[in-house]
A and B are shown apart, each in its own frame.
Chain A
Amino acid sequence: MPRQTFQEATVAAIAEEMRRDRDVFIMGEDIGPFGGPLKSCHGLWEEFGAEGRVIDTPISEGGFVGAGVGAAFAGKRPIVDIMFLEFLGLVIHQFGLDGGAMHYYSDGKAKIPLVMRAKYGVGPFHGHAYDFHSWLLNVPGVKVVAPSNAADAKGLMKAAIRDDNPVLFLEHMALYHAGREDVPEGEHIVPLGQAEVKRAGKDVTIVASALMTKRALAAAALLAKDGIDAEIVDLRTIAPLDKATILASVRKTGRLVVAGEAIKTGSSSNEVVALVAEEAFGALKAPILRVAPPDIPVPFHRALEKAYLPDAEAIAAAARRLAKS
């Protein structure tokens, strides 16, 4: 089994799908010979550029995401790379409001198979950190995927490309080049809409995604020292939620912490909280706790950044509070 970084696994998935299906192509800013920021498209130009399937676009996020919607309408399977998630605000109309609605409004006649890639997150890149994906939770017809590791990045990217709907594929920059992991070769698909129990436990459920999954796993190690057995649920797909896996875990443990990187107010984490409050209230032995950054913009200095984003200890502290009740 090859060992790859998150970035390498993601690009490998795209390359494999482009070899498999000629309708798949990719466009975005500086993704050609430059290879994309942080090597997000490394090697694609060399392999597919001559066929015109790796398209460097003008700085026109609304224009090229809109072109992705139109090309999908006309039968292609575009991947659009908006570079950073901060630019979601420039394309939410095209990707979400129109792209997400066309299948429904056309009574199933139109399909918009479109993957939109975006890098984000507090991390070594030190900039473009905002996690704004929660905006799309209030837009029907779109999916949101946030892998926490290289193998899932590959499997989820392949599933996203084969999906017939607009899918936002989130690429966390703190995970991007953070070491190599075993990544299955070839036909490795992680179906959209399936969470994974990364660590089984009986005392408290911690739901997370992307970098927060990594921190939740670290929190579980801290909690184990205190004799608290945490179960870690990695969402992998944030929309639509894997309700069954979340509910089964909470019914087992009776306690829930939801850790997210988006600011607390309006965060997609709140959907997990609402789901459990509505459907598993009777199973709860303690209140639900959210671990999230405060309602401020992401600060710049490392010390401020560290104070802003909850770490493993903050997640563990929340779990300890619940375990006592």
Chain B
Amino acid sequence: MTQSESRSPTSRSNQTLLELHRLMAITRALDVAIGKEDGHWHGLEGEEATVAGTYHGLRAGDVVAPHYRGSLTAAIARGGDLRKLLAGIFGKATSYNRGRYRSDVCGPAELGIIGLYSGALGPPLSYATGAALAFKLDRKDNVALAVFGDGSSSRGDCHEAMNMASALKLPVVFVCQNNQVAISTLSRDRVAGRSVADRAVGYGMPGRSIDGNDVLGVHDAVQEAIARARRGEGPSLIEALTFRTAGHFVSDRIETRSAEEVEAWRARDPIASFEKFLIAQGIAARGLLDKANGEIRGQVEHAMALAKSDPEPGADVLGVGTVFA
């Protein structure tokens, strides 16, 4: 059982609750649909509450540097088009960047998403910090979101970004999507200390470790940190503890964790538990949720079929003369 099953009624509007459910369901449907097509898809089954709760509710002008696992959810939360995003999985001409980079780890820049272009984890934390610096210099109340995995928490970039963000009191929210494993390396073996959130004390910012499988808990914590940042009170660190139930990518073996541990976390499925909560609170009936899930799966499958039949990029997309702005 997760916290969301036992949680008491919320002050949120039914619309927000259903949006969170939809964002989780679409994340799950994408995970299934892309997993069938792409053996290198970095699946996130079981991490939907963390990503939906983190990326829901940003404003226009905010900037996000997402963790790669959940980057598509960030794009959808910011109004990204399903078909164009899926076309980007294959690098089709109809995708946001016309096939110049894979959409699963690099969201559309026009939606304020900073991609993982060079593939190195860590630097995006400083990019988000820089966007936050821009907002502060311009006296805007926008925020930047830096989302990273437990593996990335070991990068020096993580320290540099957090220290600088706190020293300069920048409007950035750091969210550690802790799924407890980095490719094959267990975070309990290679991330020192009790938690990543504990480090916040050292940086002089608020830090919270929360249940990453409880979408409302994640949403509460992130929204509170965002509100603080918008008020000019500086950065926060949130560690959402969740679990990668699949491999690093779809075709990966997962022998580093025991079958029992994986099954125990599967039993804490964040979507199933949130649906129980919605039903218990009388917000949605089982039938309505099943219908919504079916519709979402249908939309994703339809968009996937279109994306697959979309045209490949022509040689003109190479644009040798366009590397400079």
Contacts and interface: CB of A to CB of B under 8 A. Distances in A.
B35 interface: no
A24 to B, nearest CB: 10
A94 interface: yes
B120 interface: yes
Given A58-B160, A63-B161, A165 B325 contact: yes
Given A60-B160, A101-B117, A141-B323, A66 B137 contact: no
Contacts, number: 156
A97 B130 contact: no
A27 to B, nearest CB: 8
Contact of B137 (A76, A102, A103): A76
B201 to A, nearest CB: 18
Contacts of B101: 105-106
Contact of A98 (B118, B138, B322): B118
B167 A58 contact: yes
Interface residues of B, number: 45
B123 A66 contact: yes
B154 to A, nearest CB: 14
A93 B160 CA distance: 15
B267 interface: no
B127 interface: yes
B236 to A, nearest CB: 18
Nearest to A100: B323
A63 B97 contact: no
B156 interface: yes
A66 B159 CA distance: 13
Given A69-B127, A140-B323, A74 B157 contact: no
A175 interface: no
Interface string B299-325: 000000000000000000001001111
B123 A98 contact: yes
B160 A107 contact: no
Given A66-B123, A74-B134, A103 B325 contact: yes
A255 interface: no
A70 B100 contact: no
A73 B63 contact: yes
Contact of A66 (B98, B129, B144, B163): B129
Contacts of B97: 105-107, 109
B96 interface: yes
Interface string B105-144: 0101110001101101001011111111111111000001
B229 to A, nearest CB: 14
Contact of A62 (B126, B136, B137): B126
A104 interface: yes
B310 to A, nearest CB: 15
A70 B160 contact: no
Given A70-B127, A105-B117, A140-B323, 20 more contacts: A60-B164, A67-B127, A67-B133, A67-B161, A70-B65, A70-B132, A72-B130, A73-B63, A73-B109, A73-B114, A74-B131, A75-B134, A75-B138, A76-B134, A94-B127, A98-B120, A102-B114, A105-B100, A105-B106, A108-B325
15 contacts: A63-B164, A67-B129, A67-B133, A70-B127, A71-B134, A73-B109, A74-B130, A101-B118, A102-B117, A106-B101, A107-B100, A164-B324, A164-B325, A165-B324, A240-B324
Interface of B: 63, 65, 96-98, 100-101, 106, 108-110, 114-115, 117-118, 120, 123, 125-138, 144, 156-157, 160-161, 163-164, 167-168, 319, 322-325
